[in-house]
Amino acid sequence: MSIRPAQLALTSVFLIVMMACTPDSGPDTAAVSEPGTTAPNPETMKEASTDELAEQVARMGSIGFSYGGVFSPQGDRIAFVTNASGTPNVWMADSDGGNLRQITNLEDQVNGVIWSSAGDTLAIDIAPGGGLNRQIYLMPADGGTKQLITAGGEVNNWLSDWSDDGGYVSYSSSAESENGMDCWIYDVESGASRLIAKNQGIGVCTLSPGNRYASAWRMVNRGNTDLYLVDLESGEEQHLTPHVGVALSQSATFIDDETLVFATNVDREMLALARVTITGGKAGPLEILVGRDDAELAGIDHLGDGRLILNWNVAGRSELAFFDLATGEMTPGPALPAEIAGTPEAAAGGRQAVVTVSGSATPTDVWHFDIVDATFTKISQTPHDGVDLTTLVRPELRTYEAHDGLKLSGWYYQPAEVEAPGPMVLSFHGGPEGQERPAFRATYQALLQRGIAVFAPNVRGSAGFGKTFVNLDNGALRFDGIRDIKATVKYVTETGLAEAGRIGIMGGSYGGYMVMAGITEYPEMFAAGANLFGIVNFETFFAHTEPWMAAISTVEYGNPATEAELLQQLSPIHRIDRIVTPTIVLHGANDTNVPVVEAEQVVKNLETRNVPVKYVLFPDEGHGWGKVENRVTSDVEIVRWFETHL
């Protein structure tokens, strides 16, 4: 069992940060004069109402997050990332939650942390200005001087793994690739880095316990990934997951130098647990160990006693289970403290684990999981000053049909003490192969407090519902995904969940694309929009995004070299003159995933045509917001925008 599986880097690939999504709308406040009284001044009332909104939304937006907990090798301490100080930094606590303390105090955001086997050193992943040119440092576990081990500059790097013997740190890097994220290992003793696997597109490598092999996870195209076994001495590679068509394989975990387990949907619909046995340096065939028809396997860790802990995604909610490799028996795990969990990471001995937990009414925190007693203890204690968590709204899962009869689903949040139908905001997730799940969303809860309902759909192309569904929006099929916007509006209005004419639309990254597609394709349908770092023009996106992002996106969206006409038809910029919807646009200046030119095109056009538009640019953020101050600003601006226009 490695000190830190490569889940950190895989999370980096798929994470679409939605920390800055907040719109709100409520009924207009009217001044009512009673006989014998003086009518209030409307301007004074407006100012007071604005101050109340900002204060109320700021309390919600100030709720931070903590994630990515890892045990020290001795199992007595837990390091994790939290933005409790305002910017994501490394903090530490004893395994019982005591002695909580801050280890780094950086202006730049920390994305992840792993621990050396000796316990005296941490590797940390830092994002300058919140951008994707992340760099990796080593530093003493109790704090101190950092040592840069990557190239710096504009090179992209993702921290992956630390070998069991403490000799090597593995990471992915664009240092010597025009359009890929290659696999590298850093020799701690010599201070030298070595390229171990070239990747077209992106790749992540995990080291085997004896440093004989690495598993190379590769995404050449979104929705289609593979695993390879790399011999670290000879460089020879063996393809572990050959398949026809598309398939996903991920979450590779070495049990020892002879056994690799992972999640895959090769020759099946849902991600299941698989194993490959390595004999005499040769990998045997893929063997499915256990799967579920109603859930996808989201993560794996090895307890060290012949058992695995599995994390199942069941329509968006998490369920834990244990799997015995010797008997092939799967047993259910305990109920979680909230709806969603990351994959628990076990400490040596397999008696305890650390897990990130989030829920619709539960801020994202790091928890200690006592496997023997089946109990959970919160470690990070993310503050929620001025917010009573018991008053937060939990959603209902609703299902409905698309124009072609396809079953869609979404999470419906109804404000307390407000009768439907009323104002509503539709929120579209990023990805496109992301998934809307009932996680803690400060933006949603802020909207709900202002009397605005939220409906967050999983339209075609979303992950979590099988291999077929996630690929239903590739290329020209994206037109059907755009039609799902109309189907969603039809559902919420015909069922009385929302009032026609008082519906807003918001989303970040690909969700921002859906916002722009919605207000250009259906210009009279939405009363307001909030586009957070969204794509508007595929020509400029492919020209300016990171090379590895462009390389993996040609099947998902279309190939600019051979399908320029399709990409033009799919780009909202070419219908932008149809927009009449008041739109707020928010972007990070250091975003190289969806470059800021995407936002600038929208703002310039709407300003020229006198369509109500507001532009909020964060100079110290990239693809999403990590700093509490910026999250609060974003939330207040979006909520005020929707309250004004709904």
Instruction: Tell me what pLDDT residue 348 has.
Output: 85
Burial 187-206 (b: 16+ CB within 10 A, else e): ebeeeebeebbebbbbbbbb
pLDDT in tens, 319-368: 999 999 999 999 999 999 999 999 999 998 899 999 999 999 999 999 99
Give the strand pairing for 528-532 and 498-508. parallel
Give the strand pairing for 168-173 and 180-187. antiparallel
Give the strand pairing for 330-332 and 340-341. unpaired
Ramachandran region, residue 255 (left: φ > 0; alpha: ψ -120 to 50; beta: rest): alpha
Instruction: Tell me what pLDDT residue 397 has.
Output: 97
Q: Which domains does the chain have, with CATH numbers?
A: 43-62+386-645 (3.40.50.1820)
Distance CA 131, CA 144 (A): 24
In order, the DSSP letters of 555-576 are TTT--TTT-HHHHHHH-GGGGG
pLDDT in tens, 191-208: 999 999 999 889 999 999
State the burial class of residue 511 (Cβ atoms within 10 Å of its Cβ: 0-12, 13-18, 19+): buried
Distance CA 525, CA 522 (A): 5
Name residues of the chain where pLDDT drops below 50.
1-48
Contact 592, 546 (CB under 8 A): yes
State the burial class of residue 420 (Cβ atoms within 10 Å of its Cβ: 0-12, 13-18, 19+): middle
Closest CA to 203 of 622, 590, 551: 551
